[in-house]
Amino acid sequence: MTSARVLAMVLIVACLALAWPVLRLGLAAWYGAQEEVVRAFALASVDARAAGAVAAERLGRGDAMGARQAALRALATAPMDGRAWSVLGLALAADGAEAAAAVMGRAAEVAPRNTVARAWLLQQAWTSGDAPAFRYHLDALLRVDPDLIPQLAGPLSGLIGTELGLALRQLLAERPPWRAALWQAFWRVPGRSTLFHAYLGPLAAGGGLSRAEAMAWSHALERDGAYDPLAWLWQQGNREDGVPAAARLTDGDFARPPAGFGLGWRLIPVPGVSAVFSSGSGPSPAQSALVLQFAGQRAPFEHLLQLLRLPPGVYTLRYQVRADGLRTAHGLQWVAYCLPGWQELAAGPLAKGRHDWRVEAMPLVVPASGCTTQALRLRLRALGPSDQWAVGGLRYAAMRLDPVD
């Protein structure tokens, strides 16, 4: 059995699982207990709903012929009964009749929200490898019942490198309303970095991802330690303002709000600390600055960081700093780490007290191997819990990261 057929079987089982009351219980959940439905049909054989229920009940018992006859009787009274059409189609399919596809198409036409018919049509397209039909029926099914997406994420992820996978990628580029739900399901699939390259990469390159989607995928890739696709995604300019990534350090002038993902600044709020990127607060009125204000309560601050992608070599982190009466046990400092293990690579000068703007620097050496991704973090140095306090202010501006010739 081919992988496509296996995936198709998984799909139809998943879809029918939600709609199976129509087939297995004879619409008992819709019209009462089976005995009542059968009694209604016996008393009023022209009642299309009861006839359709009997058709479904017979199909559930494996009586394809009886189901077909009951469905035809229901349709004679109510030709727009989508459930009866779908039962007739399944009965014909059970007998191998070629007319099943046309009948199921009619079921979806008269009842667009008929999940059973749409699942069956998708299964046929999936099994046969009919990419245009697969694309159409997948979109139709998920628009009707997006709750199926978690069950379909695994089978859909297995389509990478096939014509059906290409059809899925083209469909996702059209921003269907269920796309975000599929992304969320893909995040839970092992090997999501491969999914990123197959489905999101082409969309990101064409500017087809929203900022929220780029952020969510960046966080998922970061949790996987997949820094290469994370950096590539960032370099596509998936910022709300369209600003491309800097070569070594992003937004070192603090002129834009923290991006919150990728290779941009991440600033996590922490009680007792105000941290803002403030325009006009730098060494000159035209310059912005990172402005920190500590309220004097215990605050183990290390909540501002940025991921870096520096090649091996020697660098200098240079910036301007001003202390506005900052009192603390040791001071604040910039620290560089090697990821994913967070091994410390360098630590800059400690800042505290009161002084005007001045230039400070931190040398940084990126080793030749095992450190393709780094993190730059601002931390309040503390040797223990009793040191985790600060009161006063501090500002940073004009930060640069340059290689040493």
Predicted confidence (pLDDT) at residue 283 exceeds the cutoff of 90: yes
d(CA 195, CA 212): 18
Residues in Cβ contact with 181 at an 8 Å cutoff, skipping those fewer than 6 apart: 146, 149
Q: What's the pTM?
A: 0.67
386 burial level (CB within 10 Å; 0-12, 13-18, 19+)? exposed
Q: Minimal CA–CA distance to 8: which of 123, 168, 116?
A: 123
At 55-95, the pLDDT tens digits run: 455 445 555 566 556 656 666 666 676 667 676 767 677 76
Predicted confidence (pLDDT) at residue 236 exceeds the cutoff of 60: yes
pLDDT band at 378 (very low <50, low <70, confident <90, very high): very high
- pLDDT cut 70: percent of the chain above it: 72
Give the pLDDT score at 206: 62
Give the pLDDT score at 360: 97
Mean pLDDT of all residues in 105-128? 85
Q: Do the beta carbons of residue 19 and residue 115 sit within 8 Å?
A: yes
Predicted confidence (pLDDT) at residue 54 exceeds the cutoff of 80: no
Give the pLDDT score at 138: 94
d(CA 43, CA 72): 18
d(CA 203, CA 224): 21
Mean pLDDT of all residues in 190-218? 74
Predicted confidence (pLDDT) at residue 394 exceeds the cutoff of 90: yes
pLDDT band at 245 (very low <50, low <70, confident <90, very high): very low
Q: Comparing 49 with 293, which gets the higher pLDDT?
A: 293
d(CA 293, CA 190): 42
End-to-end CA distance of the chain: 61
Mean pLDDT of all residues in 90-115? 77
Q: Domains of the chain, with CATH numbers?
A: 3-174 (1.25.40.10), 190-245 (no CATH), 266-403 (2.60.120.260)
Predicted confidence (pLDDT) at residue 290 exceeds the cutoff of 70: yes
Predicted confidence (pLDDT) at residue 136 exceeds the cutoff of 60: yes
- pLDDT cut 90: percent of the chain above it: 43
